Amino acid sequence: MVIIMLGAPGTGKGTVAGILQEKMGIKQVSTGDIFRKNIKEGTELGKLADSYISKGNLVPDEVTIQIVKDRLNEPDVEKGIILDGFPRTIVQAEALEKMLAEKGKKVDLVINLVTSEEEIIERLVYRRVCPNCKSIFNVILHPPKQEGICDNCGHELIHRDDDKEETIKDRFQTYLKQTSPLIEYYEKKGVLRTEEVSKKINRMGKEVAEDIVQEYQS
């Protein structure tokens, strides 16, 4: 099964993907995590990626597509994959379709998370993530039991550099320009599932993920 997480930064893609991975046994692959790991390790890819990510821009298609292509050849995603943060452009979506077709696969479900820009900014500015187990917290909405420490694995939490307010605005614009056309793209293919997430309606990534798990298990 191939699932794609779509939505602006801060809508909860990682949260949903993490729960689906745990409950459905399908591997979550985040291109953002792959870039961050390379940045931390100081690789050539990391240096290149950082020059785009720090400005709120997308890493070039050819670089990102090659990473996903290599990842799709690994055995742990044979059964299925949840792509968290890929594709982010039409060019990437078309390349993905080709890569999957070569393996006799296709995109089965695209989960499109929608929320207001206001809530996105609030969630990202206060977001803290665990670089070790990828758990996600929010200083206001979902604080860890001990300040700055992951409840799940005890690792120190980080505030991502690109979660600072100036960069968030650029990332949101990038999403509108380059990624949001994918909504129509996947709608036409009949695989789009749009979900509003908002604290106003008491529906966040966790609730969305639980509903999907239940539907697929029954």
Task: Judge whether 191 and 28 are in contact, CB under 8 Å.
Answer: no
Active-site choice (55, 160, 164, 169):
160
Residues 51-80 that bind ligand AMP (CB under 6 A): 52-53, 57-59, 64
Active site residue 13: yes
Active-site choice (36, 123, 127, 128):
127
With CB under 6 A as the contact rule, which of the stretches 17-25, 82-90, 95-103, 181-189 interacts with ligand AMP?
Answer: 82-90
Active site residue 88: yes
Closer to ligand AMP by Cβ: residue 55 or 216: 55
Task: Judge whether 4 and 13 are in contact, CB under 8 Å.
Answer: no
Residues 172-191 that bind ligand AMP (CB under 6 A): none
Residues 2-41 that bind ligand AMP (CB under 6 A): 9, 30-32, 35
Active site residue 160: yes
Nearest to 201 by CA among 130, 113, 99, 140: 113
Closer to ligand AMP by Cβ: residue 77 or 216: 77
CB 177, min distance to ligand AMP, A: 13
Instruction: Tell me the number of residues near ligand AMP by CB under 6 A.
Output: 18
Build a one-symbol-per-residue string for 90-129: x at contacts with ligand AMP by CB under 6 A, - elsewhere: --x-------------------------------------
What 3 state SS string does the chain have? CEEEEEECCCCCHHHHHHHHHHHHCCEEEEHHHHHHHHHHHCCHHHHHHHHHHCCCCCCCHHHHHHHHHHHHCCHHHCCCEEEECCCCCHHHHHHHHHHHHHCCCCCCEEEEEECCHHHHHHHHHCEEECCCCCCEEECCCECCCCCCECCCCCCECECCHHHCHHHHHHHHHHHHHHHCHHHHHHHHCCCEEEEECEHHHCECHHHHHHHHHHHHHC
Number of residue whose CB is nearest ligand AMP: 32
Distance CA(5)–CA(205), nearest Å, equals: 11
Binding residue for ligand AMP, selected from 171, 197, 209, 212, defined by CB under 6 A = 171
Closer to ligand AMP by Cβ: residue 47 or 200: 47
Chain positions contacting ligand AMP, by CB under 6 A: 9, 30-32, 35, 52-53, 57-59, 64, 85-88, 92, 162, 171
Active site residues: 13, 88, 127, 160, 171
